Amino acid sequence: MFQSFDTHASPAQGPARLAALRQVLAAEGLSGFLVPRADVHQGEYVAPRDERLQWLTGFTGSAGFCIVLPNIAGVFIDGRYRTQVKGQVDLAHFTPVPWPEISAGAWLKQNLPEGVVGFDPWLHTADEIAKIEAALDGTGVTLRACANQIDQIWPDQPPAPLGRAFAHPDNLAGETSGQKRSRLADSVQTAGQTAAVITLPDSLCWLLNIRGADVPRNPVLHGFAILHENAHVTLFADAAKFDDATRAHLGNEVLLRPISDFVPALRTLHGTVRVDRGTAPLAVSTELTASGITVAWGDDPCRLPKAKKTAAEIQGMREAHLRDGAAVVEFLYWLDQQAPNGSLSEIDVVRALEGFRRATNVLHDISFDTICGSGPNGAIMHYRVTEESNRAIGRNELLLVDSGAQYLDGTTDITRTIAVGDPGDYARACFTRVLQGTIAISRVRWPAGYTGRDLDPLARYALWLAGQDFNHGTGHGVGAFLSVHEGPQRLSRISEVPLEPGMILSNEPGYYREGEFGIRLENLIVVQPAPALPGGDDERNQLSFETLTFVPFDRRLILTAQLSAGDRDWLNTYHAEVLAKLTPRLSAEALAWCEAACAGL
């Protein structure tokens, strides 16, 4: 299996490691140290070598950081992890801090009268450090770039990953690497720059039409790249990851050099060099400035073009989602037969779902560890089942399953909440409100230029009317056989990136009652030009979403009277499409189940 159920960290190990870190900090003359979740590539998913936050604290979430001071160690977590963190850290030694409501700078001002706080400049962006320093201006607290203090006390730190790199076919990418490099180099030249530094693994993989295996679940390569104004690229990565075929795929305009050559290469650049202050390590701009090279802050040149998928990528995503949708329906049919017996555990469900995806014979990997939370575990938004936490699926409760797959032609991410027995009308009312949010996003048309922040409230409106909400964004960007979480596009209160055709996002409102249940419903959607309206007399340019995911919602959890006529029409049309698209792909038994699941309301 791709997914394991081992416990990766224990709260019991945290106090001793925290004491060792404080001893090292005192010897270095430091009053504190920043321990981020990120690696040098600012990735959400990191290799085992880079799990420093987890190693120190026990917290396994995909976002957050710790600030260690002499008398307090704050673990900063966002709304997704407020419940999870309580069971993963030793609360006598680590203090959860609600973030971003409380920023790192504000917390330091409150908890450290004066002193020097160290940080590894390869693990923090220029933007991140500048914000903390601005908050500390006028205080007795300063930041100091230094060696990584965690690495000094981690005796069995895993080695750097050595995953195999491989070519991604041009016909699936919809554009050759040479075409991409030429287009982006033109934008660099137009901006008066001589080069752009690329530090995000998914960016360099997209640019070069390659994929890798350095991070679990995401087919990316660890490395750095410099895009030169002549459209040539210098790629800094371990040569052992590349076989002859992949080297040939890179071509003569891509020079492969070892990682150790990256900093010396930065020092030899000239003119004005673009660096993304929000994604590149601070060390990059520091090295350039120290060598007298002008740094131009600007977006990673790959991020926006990568987000706007080509026609070939969108078609690949459509096919991947139909294949995956059929596998998920086979799973849901199986689950409906087995769950009422009371013999299934969360691990049984995860194994079965992966098995149905493997049965496609083209599964490359799962796109993240499956979240399978029954009853109260469903309220832990990013719950990962282990042998220790594994729970039997009880009768008359909700089961939340959030999962995805990596296929060569696309990445999927789908969540369904399922009734096991009769969870009661309160749960149905909450489920129906979440479904109304899903439908609202699916149906919306909007004038071009609007951002994810503008649309996010639509997913919450029905919940807000009932005094409810959820503590995560409505949707994240998704890559095409790349990272399941991709920027810069989002459906979120904090997103200011205009939505453009070709951008793929998740549509996943939810509702969570700690200790009782969790509800989340998720489809992937792609931004497209809105179809013309019959009799429309407004010529303004509008956009809309095309739904990519086709799997029925659990009709047993829908209070039909709570839906508007428009909601019902959309849902009936959607379920008719599910049945039409998946019928040729399903077994006879699963098809009969799907026909009942897609019956009109």
Using one digit for the tens of pLDDT, what is the confidence trace for 77-109?
A: 988 888 889 889 999 999 999 999 999 999 999
- Which of 349, 393, 326, 321 is CA-nearest to residue 589? 326
pLDDT of 116 above 80: yes
pLDDT (0 to 100) of residue 469? 98
**pLDDT tens string 389-444:** 999 999 999 999 999 999 999 999 999 999 999 999 999 999 999 999 999 999 99
Return the pLDDT at 199.
98
Taking the model in full, what pTM does it have? 0.94
Residue 543, pLDDT score: 97
Amino acid letter, 390 = N
- State the amino acid at position 491 in one-letter form: L
DSSP 419: E
- Tell me the average pLDDT across 25-29: 97
Let me know: does 594 contact 580? Beta carbons within 8 Å.
Answer: no
Q: Do 501 and 543 meet the contact criterion of CB atoms below 8 Å apart?
A: yes
Topology adopted by domain 11-153:
Creatine Amidinohydrolase; Chain A, domain 1 (3.40.350)
CATH topology classification for 308-597: Creatine Amidinohydrolase (3.90.230)
Name every residue whose Cβ is closer than 8 Å to that of residue 321 and which is 6 or more positions away in sequence: 410, 412, 524, 548, 549, 550
Say if 11-153 and 308-597 have the same CATH topology.
no
**What's the average model confidence in pLDDT over 505-526?**
98
Mean pLDDT of 272-280: 97
Q: Tell me the one-letter amino acid at 21.
A: L
* Whole-number pLDDT of residue 202: 97
**What confidence tens digit (pLDDT) does each residue in 407-418 have?**
999 999 999 999
Q: Each residue of 36-59: pLDDT tens digit? A: 999 999 878 899 999 999 999 999
Rounded to an integer, the average pLDDT of 495-506 is 97
Provide the residue ranges of all domains of the chain, joining segments of one domain with +. 11-153, 166-305, 308-597
The span from the CA of 77 to the CA of 83, in Å, is: 10
Look over the chain and give the mean of its residue pLDDT values, rounded to a whole number.
Answer: 96
Q: What amino acid is encoded at 255 in this protein?
A: L
Q: In terms of Cα–Cα distance, which of 523, 459, 531 is closest to 491? A: 459
Inform me whether the pLDDT recorded for 380 exceeds 80: yes
Q: Are strands 73-77 and 95-98 parallel, antiparallel or unpaired?
A: parallel
CATH fold of the domain at 166-305: Creatine Amidinohydrolase; Chain A, domain 1 (3.40.350)
As given in the structure block, the two tokens for residue 286 are 């520091």
* Alpha helix stretches (DSSP H) within 155-194: 170-173, 177-190
Give the DSSP letter string of 31-46. SEEEEES--TT--SS-
Each residue's pLDDT tens digit, 146-163:
999 999 999 999 999 999
pLDDT class for 179, splitting at 50, 70, 90? very high
Residue 68 has phi, psi (to 5 degrees) of -100, 120
**Mean pLDDT, residues 126-140 taken together:** 96
Q: Which helix (H) or strand (E) holds 510?
A: strand 510-513
So what's the pLDDT on residue 492? 96
Mean pLDDT confidence for 462-477: 97
Mean pLDDT, range 366-386, rounded to an integer: 95
* Nearest-angstrom CA–CA distance, 279 and 41: 8
Measuring CA to CA, which residue among 376, 369, 390 is closest to residue 86?
Answer: 376
Share above pLDDT 90 across residues of the chain, in percent, rounded to a whole number: 93
Between the two ends of the chain, the Cα-to-Cα distance in Å is 38
Position 536 confidence tier, pLDDT thresholds 50, 70, 90: low
Q: What count of residues does the chain have?
A: 601
Q: Summarize pLDDT for 561-589 with one digit per residue, the tens.
A: 999 999 999 999 999 999 999 999 999 99
The whole-number pLDDT of residue 537 equals 64
Pairwise CA distance, residues 96 & 529, whole Å: 44
Strands (E), 190-337: 195-198, 210-211, 224-228, 233-236, 254-257, 272-275, 294-297
Residue 416 neighbours by CB under 8 Å, 6+ apart: 328, 332, 401, 521, 522, 551, 553, 554
Q: Give me the mean pLDDT over the 497-508 stretch.
A: 98
